[in-house]
Amino acid sequence: MLVHIVADTVKKLADLRAMLERHHAVTSELLSDASIRCGESDAVVVTANLQAVENIATLKEMFGKLTHVRKRIFIVDQKTRLFTAQAYALGATRVLVNPISQSRLLAELADRDRPETNLNKVLPSAREAATAGAAAMASMFSDALTGNPIDVGSAKGTAGKIADSIAEDGLCDWLETVRHHHEGTYQHCLLVTGIAVDFGLSLGLSKADNERLYSAAMFHDIGKAKIPLAVLDKPGRLDARERALIETHPVAGYDVLKGNPAICPEILDAVRHHHEYLDGSGYPDALCAASISDLVRILTISDIFAALIERRSYRPTMPREQAYEIIRNMEGKLERPLVAAFRAVALNR
Ligand SMILES: [Fe+2]
Ligand SMILES: [Fe+2]
């Protein structure tokens, strides 16, 4: 594999070269004199301090020229949500945090080359829609965190692109692309959006209802912007305090969006209630069946399925059949005819 390295200091550049050059063909350059000579590189690995304003403009220009490179790994200096969001907004397909070990970096480069991912078969439109989707997520999460108004129009426009990509290429390409290029909450929200699009199409929803559904999916977990990453991305089981913190996200999301004139009541309802169950055992309002709208019921099924099949570094990806079985066995919590209709989305599409 041909890997191009860009770093903002001589030391970082030398460290990365030392890690990679025994294993891959490597080219490199300093960010300050980057002419982006990466040509036909298969991957680009970038590390730079995102607190330095002068770096941002250079990186923006640089990533603009790198859209043809399939793997764009950005290594940030600190694990903060703003840096991660910024790196994705710049165009990274994967963000890692310093200090990074050689084995981790090599695994990242190799991981995306696993033959079963069939990346060569993934059509560019799915990749482009996923990259645009991740950038929209990043800017939404960063606005929610800093208290800026969310750019609803641009998020809805991106959701529309995702819908077009799935309508054209199907759900499989979308799931493959998102699971192999994105991580954490962005991966989850992109998966939910794609699954909701496909579910809406398979149910024959009207164009307007479908638009409301996939927009609600884009926004549904925006409240997670307020949850510390250490809890959100914690591998394994959460304790009671962490679980309680996670369960604040529907109301937090509702509070972020409620004053926004571009958000309709149906979307607001879905953001607040996507963890409610028909039997009243959900949260935050313990609603019962009659109070849970059709849009929310569809979104909840899409959300649970996405959470089950997402790629996590600490566990194998669950097969779609197994995930559907879990949903099918959630007796009394989800609408049975909808779960039956979801079978085609979960297994066949
Ligand atoms: Fe959620
Ligand atoms: Fe979710």
Residues in CB range of 327: below 8 A, 6 or more apart: 301, 304, 305, 308, 334, 339, 342, 346
Give the Å distance between the CA of 275 and the centre of ligand 2.
8
Give the Å distance between the CA of 100 and the centre of ligand 2.
29
- Ligand found nearest the CA of 186: 2
Give the Å distance between the CA of 141 and the centre of ligand 2.
14
In this structure, which long-range contacts are made by residues 71-74, counting pairs with CB atoms below 8 Å and at least 24 apart in sequence? Answer: 71/42, 71/43, 71/44, 71/109, 71/112, 72/43, 72/44, 72/46, 73/43, 73/44, 73/45, 73/46, 73/105, 73/108, 73/109, 74/46, 74/47
Give the Å distance between the CA of 72 and the centre of ligand 2.
26
- Ligand found nearest the CA of 189: 2
Residue 302 · residue 199 · CB < 8 Å: yes
Give the Å distance between the CA of 283 and the centre of ligand 1.
10
- Ligand found nearest the CA of 253: 1
Give the Å distance between the CA of 221 and the centre of ligand 1.
5
Give the Å distance between the CA of 274 and the centre of ligand 1.
6
- Ligand found nearest the CA of 254: 1
- Ligand found nearest the CA of 275: 1
- Ligand found nearest the CA of 227: 1
Query: Would you state the pLDDT for residue 97?
Result: 85
d(CA 96, CA 98): 7
Can you tell me which residue has the tokens 């409301």? Answer: 212
Query: Would you state the pLDDT for residue 208?
Result: 92
Query: What pTM was computed for the model?
Result: 0.70
Give the Å distance between the CA of 250 and the centre of ligand 1.
6
Name which of 304, 296, 313 is nearest 345 in CA terms.
304
Residue 193 · residue 217 · CB < 8 Å: yes
CB atoms within 10 A of CB 266: 17
Give the Å distance between the CA of 301 and the centre of ligand 2.
10
Query: Would you state the pLDDT for residue 38?
Result: 59
d(CA 110, CA 208): 42
Give the Å distance between the CA of 145 and the centre of ligand 2.
18
Give the Å distance between the CA of 44 and the centre of ligand 2.
31
- Ligand found nearest the CA of 308: 2
Residue 47, SS3 per DSSP = strand
Helices (H) and strands (E) in the chain, counts: 16, 5
What count of residues does the chain have? 349
Query: Would you state the pLDDT for residue 120?
Result: 43
Q: What is the DSSP string of 59-95?
A: HHHHHHT-TT-SEEEEEESS--HHHHHHHHHHT-SEE
- Ligand found nearest the CA of 301: 2
pLDDT in tens, the chain (349 residues): 899 999 999 999 999 999 999 999 998 899 887 676 656 788 999 999 888 778 887 888 888 777 778 788 999 887 665 677 678 777 787 888 888 888 889 888 886 544 434 444 445 578 888 888 888 888 888 888 888 889 999 899 999 989 888 877 788 888 888 887 777 888 899 999 999 999 998 898 898 999 999 999 999 999 999 998 888 888 888 999 999 999 999 999 999 999 899 999 999 999 999 999 999 999 999 999 999 999 999 999 999 999 999 988 777 889 999 999 999 999 899 999 999 999 989 987 6
Give the Å distance between the CA of 119 and the centre of ligand 1.
29
Between the CA of residue 182 and those of 79, 138, 238, 266, what are the distances in Å? 16, 11, 23, 28
Residue 46 · residue 72 · CB < 8 Å: yes
Q: Which residues surround ligand 2, an ion (CB under 5 A)?
A: 221, 303
